[in-house]
Structure 1
Amino acid sequence: MSAFISSTGVVALLLPSIIRLAAKARLAPSRLLLPLSISALIGGSSTLIGTPPNLLAAERLTLAGYQSFSFFSFTPISLAILMASLLVVIGLGKRLLPERQAVQKVQPVVTPIELFRLYHLPESLYRLRVDAQSPLVGKTLAESNLRERFDLNVLSAIHGHGRRTSVFNAAHRAEYLRPDAPIQAEDILIVQGKPESVSQAAAYWRLAIMANEPVVEQDVISNEVGIAEVMLRPRSSALDKTLTELNFGRTHRLTVLDIRRPGYEGTLDLKRTPLRFGDMLLVQGQWKDIFALKHKHRRDYIVMGEPEAAEFGAFQRAERAPIVLIVLAVMIAAIVINPDLLTLASLMAALAVVLTGCISMDEAYQSIDWKTLFLIAGMLPLSTALVKVGLVDSIATSLRTALSGLGIYAVIAGLFAITALFTQVLSNTVTTVLIAPIAIAAARDLGVAPQAFVMAVAIAASMAFATPIASPVNTLVMSPGNYKFSDYARIGVPLVLISMLITLIALPLLFPL
């Protein structure tokens, strides 16, 4: 799957199933989740479109005037690395992979209703009835200051005549409730907060606490609103900032109901706690805003799984799945026949899925990772500038001088090692953009074709196994697997070395030197 779609998306989608599988097999999730992330990273390196480093490597060859890679040029090496990695995991997995249960028991489900129960939301949700004499009658939600003054989140309202309206609103069919919507007598507000805060708000506004009527899932979850788990990415701009500093609610139109931190079992202050790498946020709001967080802000947050799909049938266009497969097959065939058609084929495929109704224009727009595009757009000129001023040639000459006495393979091994080292701490996109020109210059100095050198850089850039911050894929499995930093290095470093060995053996067979 990761050969054709985002490896992060693949892991987020498969994570609940793998956790469920571990539970049924009575295995610690830590035995399966790292192999999942490693497989996704290797799979992404197996095709031209599987990962940005492959596309960038091919583009650098084209810009330098050399023959570029075909769609499946990467596949033989990636498959060999995948098979070797599977053998290592099967043979040495008990030694290299920790057997560690999650700090908090991992549930093999991530549907909204399961999350509702997993986070014990019924214990922190209350019904408040607005009496006719309450000063709150006629005021809007914004004027009530229930959140600002009493730290309460208003999740839904049931009007006096019995119609349930979710905050964001509606009788069993939630719609957005505007902050300027007036509160009426006999309305029932469903709020989330600490007991003392609820009591203070009830006393101040003369509200009756309906302790005998428990809140149910349908009060906060429907086809239009719901809850989802969100994880911070390792390089998220939200790190070390509080939700208040981020103005999270106004920015994303979502309410954070809880924060869970690996290794910490207490209750975190939602307003004053600086967010850390690995924190899990439980958010509630309209599905369209959750989707926006998932697509428009993907560089900062990862929405776990497809929580809305299992419960509410988000895949309402499943009958168009064959169309998507046909479009994908035609696109791949066009690229295989003529690699120069990559841009045109990709653009036409995107246009086809929109015109056939597989996705809407808004969904297509939201699926674009604009930050990655701007990153690449900014880094490519920088890379070209490094070439123009001679810095790339100087580095390549130094590398050749240091290693050429050991042969061409030593230079390729050096490039692989440098790239693999950088990609553990830097974006693989940045790493490829910076090192691919050096690989081309080194090959030119040695008087050989550069394809093997650039291929080594592209493959190495995807071997981000050794740290949890090397890739969002690694970040995704850290909390559910309760992994430590050293767990990644224990299995990741040997696999990187094995990957380098396989690459050095395979390159001469694919690109004679």
Structure 2
Amino acid sequence: MNTELLCVLAMLLFCIGCFAANKPRADVVALLMLVLFPLTGVLDLQQTLAGFSDPAVILIAALFVIGDGLVRTGIVYRLGDALVRVSANSETRLLVLLMLAVALLGSVMSSTGVVAIFIPVVLSICARMNIAPGRLMMPLAFAALISGMQTLVATPPNMVVHSELQRNGLEGFNFFSFTPIGLVVLVLGIGYMLLARRWLKPQLAPGQSGAPRLTLSALAQSYRLNEREHRLKVLPGSLLLNQQLNELALRKGYGINVVAVERLQKFRTLLLNATGNTVVQAGDVLLVDLMYPAQDLLQICRQLGLEAQPLTSSYYSLYAHELGLAEVAFPPESALPGKTIQQLSFRSRHKLNVVGLRRRGEALQGVLVDEQLQQADTLLVAGNWKDIHNLQRQGRDFLVLSLPAEVDEVTPAARKAPHALGCLALMVLLMVTGIVPNVIAALITCLLLGALRCIDLNSAYKAIHWPSLVLIIGMLPFALALQKTGGIELAVSSLLYVLGDSGDYALLAALFVLTALTGAFISNTATAVLLAPVAVTLATTLGASPYPFAMMVALAASAAFMTPVSSPVNTLVLGPGQYKFSDFVRIGLPFTLLVLVVSVLLVPLLFPLYPAQ
């Protein structure tokens, strides 16, 4: 063992220790390695910084942007909404659909991002169905990890292994190389979690502090809006046709406050914010807040030429990504107390509707337009999230007390969802056919998303998870350093010395175990960077195909089920699921062994160890 190899191994052990302790941050450790390699003379500057031009790094950055496009256009949230509707209060159906949805989304976007999006969705569902969050949070995390086994672009370790094959002059994997094994693991994962959820008995953490964030549903209930929400369709010949809402005076004359309008346009329904200038058209469905008792609704509909439509749940929940609610109070310097709601002209000035008034903790009912406001009153306003944010900036007369949790789910490009789906389909087509390299396909998709206004430059740069990229760039030189100093050959010879007589299947299993154990304590991306060269060199030494060995490393890197620190998705669900470290070991270890068995059996079938010449 030469001096340079000892130096590289010392640096590697230092990295592993820092990663395990999470001090300092992983990306800081990676930057430190970029400084140390040239200073120690193990690698020159060009070799050390080669990761900045690595196609895998560019591809990962582009995929972060594409994932953000799916979020901004509301595709992700619509999938979550559909999940709630289809599950129909069945926990079993919900678990199955949740894992399928997360695995599907995670196959084309960051699994960490998918979990971050779905955590509030799952918490909301759990509250509604009276389910302990711990029964769904771990299935959520497991599905996100399994999504990494679905496609080439599903997780960075897949692309790291793919790039290692290409660096060795090989063709690399195609877009769906992982899919057959991933689908089998997904089916087994769903079945396993249906059994394992009964072993999860989460308890509320003692001394747990912090009230849950206010939701649209809770806010609407506190002002008793649930009793007053209706959908009214405008019939041909209605008295409202072709008139502006300001001219109709519906609130004062009939106690009808139009909050928004559903309008069918080009074969899809658009939600329009109701302003004073909104012109009513035949076929419009008005989302209204009825201030008179519901028994008067039939008479009002007859008078105005309207027809009541079904409303299965609050329209604030149905359109949470576009239609918002916020509580507004009056700061001491406000000049508005003493005026009536009618005099505020909220709809004309701020494009928002006053839908509730609370005084001394009690929600007032009836037609409120002539109610004189008091200093301690709070108003509930409804409208477009953008207009609510604009109201926040007017601090002299209004004080927006709090925004509900759904504000995090705002989709500023909701109407561009079909465009985003088209761009995604194009990327998959380009990658599957191989017309252009994967990184070019991803960059073309990013440019199209920008040109179609599904994303903008600011959101694109913010979407990229720079610490992950820095970590990959900082760890890539280790593969070259270990090859240059003989570290890879040492690892391969050690494996062959211990298991050389046990057969190829034992070597595949050992490679999986080594990768999974390493990934239990450090980033799975860093694990793939370190062990992908070992896999390829091991196969070359045996005279075998490198594909099954490389595939084992990729699958094992995604099989990070055993500890809460083995993957960011596990860490994300640790708090909301109220889990302990031992819960992941108890549930994750058996499933990791199951994935090991499946991988050892299936990988050689799909990627023969010794292809026919």
Normalised by the length of structure 1, the TM-score is 0.63
Cα gap change, 1:161 to 1:477, in 2 (>3 Å): closer
Residue of structure 1 equivalent to 2:407: 308
CA contact (8 A) 1:77 1:506 kept: yes
Task: Measure, in 1, the Cα distance between the counterparts of 2:548 and 2:190.
Answer: 25
Task: Measure, in 2, the Cα distance between the counterparts of 1:286 and 1:23.
Answer: 21
Q: 1:98 aligns with which of 189, 201, 216?
A: 201
Q: How does 1:302-451 map to 2 (within 5 A)?
A: 307-309=406-408, 314-338=410-434, 341-451=437-547
Residue of structure 1 equivalent to 2:601: 505
Residue of structure 1 equivalent to 2:190: 86
Task: Measure, in 2, the Cα distance between the counterparts of 1:286 and 1:106.
Answer: 15
Residue of structure 1 equivalent to 2:361: none
Q: How does 1:26-425 map to 2 (within 5 A)?
A: 26-95=130-199, 97-101=200-204, 104=208, 111=215, 158=331, 160-162=333-335, 213=376, 223-224=388-389, 307-309=406-408, 314-338=410-434, 341-425=437-521
Q: Displacement, 1:511?
A: 0.5
Task: Measure, in 2, the Cα distance between the counterparts of 1:115 and 1:12.
Answer: 23
Task: Measure, in 2, the Cα distance between the counterparts of 1:51 and 1:77.
Answer: 15
Task: Measure, in 1, the Cα distance between the counterparts of 2:115 and 2:463.
Answer: 17
Cα gap change, 1:374 to 1:92, in 2 (>3 Å): closer
Residue of structure 2 equivalent to 1:460: 556
Cα gap change, 1:163 to 1:370, in 2 (>3 Å): farther
Q: Percent identity?
A: 37
Residue of structure 2 equivalent to 1:147: none
- When Rg is computed on C-alpha atoms for both structures, the one with the higher figure is 2
CA contact (8 A) 1:424 1:470 kept: yes
CA contact (8 A) 2:430 2:436 kept: no
The number of aligned residues is: 357
Q: Displacement, 1:374?
A: 2.0
CA contact (8 A) 1:440 1:450 kept: yes
Query: Which runs of 5 or more residues in structure 2 are unaligned?
Result: 1-104, 223-327, 338-344, 348-373, 393-399
Q: Which moved more, 1:424-433 or 1:25-34?
A: 25-34
Q: What CA deviation, in whole Å up to 9, does each residue of 1:58-80 have, x standing for no partner?
A: 00110011220001111111111
Cα gap change, 1:77 to 1:158, in 2 (>3 Å): same
Residue of structure 1 equivalent to 2:312: none
Task: Measure, in 2, the Cα distance between the counterparts of 1:388 and 1:375.
Answer: 21
Paired letter, 1:34: M
Task: Measure, in 1, the Cα distance between the counterparts of 2:212 and 2:550.
Answer: 41
Paired letter, 1:6: S
Q: What CA deviation, in whole Å up to 9, does each residue of 1:124-153 have, x standing for no partner?
A: xxxxxxxxxxxxxxxxxxxxxxxxxxxxxx
Task: Measure, in 2, the Cα distance between the counterparts of 1:339 and 1:390.
Answer: 38
Q: What CA deviation, in whole Å up to 9, does each residue of 1:413-437 have, x standing for no partner?
A: 1111011111111011100000110
Task: Measure, in 1, the Cα distance between the counterparts of 2:134 and 2:542.
Answer: 45
Cα gap change, 1:106 to 1:409, in 2 (>3 Å): farther
Cα gap change, 1:491 to 1:115, in 2 (>3 Å): farther
CA contact (8 A) 2:146 2:185 kept: yes
Q: 1:479 aligns with which of 555, 572, 575?
A: 575
Residue of structure 2 equivalent to 1:182: none
Task: Measure, in 1, the Cα distance between the counterparts of 2:211 and 2:145.
Answer: 25
Q: What CA deviation, in whole Å up to 9, does each residue of 1:230-282 have, x standing for no partner?
A: xxxxxxxxxxxxxxxxxxxxxxxxxxxxxxxxxxxxxxxxxxxxxxxxxxxxx
Normalised by the length of structure 2, the TM-score is 0.53
Q: Displacement, 1:481?
A: 1.5
Task: Measure, in 1, the Cα distance between the counterparts of 2:391 and 2:138.
Answer: 29
Paired letter, 2:177: S
Q: Displacement, 1:213?
A: 2.9
Q: Displacement, 1:222?
A: 7.2
CA contact (8 A) 1:225 1:285 kept: no
Paired letter, 1:5: M
Residue of structure 2 equivalent to 1:290: none
Q: What CA deviation, in whole Å up to 9, does each residue of 1:167-188 have, x standing for no partner?
A: xxxx999xxxxxxxxxxxxxxx
Query: Which runs of 5 or more residues in structure 1 are unaligned?
Result: 119-154, 165-170, 174-210, 228-283, 288-304
